[in-house]
Chain A
């Protein structure tokens, strides 16, 4: 079977195809536009060898393949989004041929129209917040007081071990204190994250929380306490970034990472976007 299929990246309105500037698509395929109903679908022809059902199922679980495809998909969508309102479609959406794509454009014209209305002149920004790694408990060897203990005891919240108390008791108490400390720290972090979110959301049309990233995929130490996306009117970007910068300066114990502008991947849901006055809505 060496047939082909048509891979769809996204749907744009009033897109000048020249804006893509010859960006290659997935698997290095050329990208072209299928125009119908006033919309332009960005597509590539791909081989069923790679994108047929069985092949795709296997390929999607191959990290290298997935990465390459995701980056290519994003590159195309990103280029288009800088030039015209563009609604990305989910990765690996495939059709038989251009005629079918044109049919989809015609069938779904209204839906795409709504989505595009919701994102025109807007971009997505990502904000990730990490709890800073805790200060090392003791500066190994330079602590004059704590000679016998493996770890300096905190002065708050716990009675010093009674002389003569068993080593086991001391150990258990230390474990307990440590756990309490961790829980308190966790709570404080969550409060900070939600205050920060409320502040940032004031600048945004809509917001959405992504699940915290797996540290093994992100390669980041430190607990991720927030992974949010914000849909911003282009003219509010500066204010949003200033707010993020200010927050990064005055929030203790957290690190902020801002990414963007993104094509509005997280906000193509007509519901999300039209639920506009998202001011301070920490939910979802």
Chain B
């Protein structure tokens, strides 16, 4: 029922949630072959990183899993 509707472009910049940013930066954007890293590990690198990252955060914050 409640809505948190952010104001448009003119509004004072609200700090963007990292998780929203990562949704876009790690899964979006034009994928082009770079000279470094990505050319070696290909696109998977960032996906693997995110997985590792989330696992890390999960382990730190919530040792017990949910059923």
Find chain B residues with CB under 8 A from A57 CB.
37, 41, 45, 49
A8 is an interface residue with CB less than 8 A from chain B: yes
A152 is an interface residue with CB less than 8 A from chain B: no
Instruction: Mark A52-89 against chain B: 1 for CB-CB distance below 8 A, else 0.
Output: 11001100110100110011011000000010000111
**Other-chain contact of B43, A90, A217, A237 (Cβ < 8 Å):** A90
Tell which of A136-144, A159-167, A198-206, A251-259 binds the partner: A251-259
Chain B: CB-nearest residue to A54: B37
Interface residues on A, range: 35 or more
Contact check, A258 vs B6: say whether CB atoms are below 8 A apart: yes
A230 is an interface residue with CB less than 8 A from chain B: no
Q: Nearest chain A CB to B15's CB is how many angstroms away?
A: 9
A25 is an interface residue with CB less than 8 A from chain B: no
Contact check, B27 vs A210: say whether CB atoms are below 8 A apart: yes
Instruction: Mark B28-50 against chain A: 1 for CB-CB distance below 8 A, else 0.
Output: 11111011111011010110010
A266 is an interface residue with CB less than 8 A from chain B: yes
Find chain A residues with CB under 8 A from B56 CB.
61, 63
A284 is an interface residue with CB less than 8 A from chain B: no
Q: Nearest chain B CB to A39's CB is how many angstroms away?
A: 12
- Which residue, A73, A82, A217, has most C-beta atoms of chain B within 10 A? A217
Q: How far is the CA of A89 from the CA of B28 in the complex (A)?
A: 8
A-B CB pair tally, cutoff 8 Å? 174
Chain B residues within 8 Å of chain A by Cβ, number? 44
Q: How far is the CA of A213 from the CA of B46 in the complex (A)?
A: 17
A175 is an interface residue with CB less than 8 A from chain B: no
Contact check, A93 vs B24: say whether CB atoms are below 8 A apart: no
Contact check, B32 vs A5: say whether CB atoms are below 8 A apart: no
A249 is an interface residue with CB less than 8 A from chain B: yes
Find chain A residues with CB under 8 A from B34 CB.
8, 92-95
**Other-chain contact of A256, B3, B16, B49, B61 (Cβ < 8 Å):** B3
Q: Nearest chain B CB to A7's CB is how many angstroms away?
A: 9
**Other-chain contact of B30, A63, A115, A124, A257 (Cβ < 8 Å):** A115
Contact check, A92 vs B46: say whether CB atoms are below 8 A apart: yes
Q: Nearest chain A CB to B19's CB is how many angstroms away?
A: 4
- Using A91-B25, A126-B20 as known contacts, say yes or no to A52 and B36 having CB atoms under 8 A apart: yes
Other A-B contacts than A90-B32, A229-B23, A252-B1, 5 sampled, CB-CB below 8 A, are: A8-B32, A82-B9, A214-B58, A217-B19, A268-B30
Q: List B residues at the A interface (Cβ < 8 Å).
A: 1-6, 8-9, 16-32, 34-38, 40-41, 43, 45-46, 49, 52-54, 56-58, 61-62
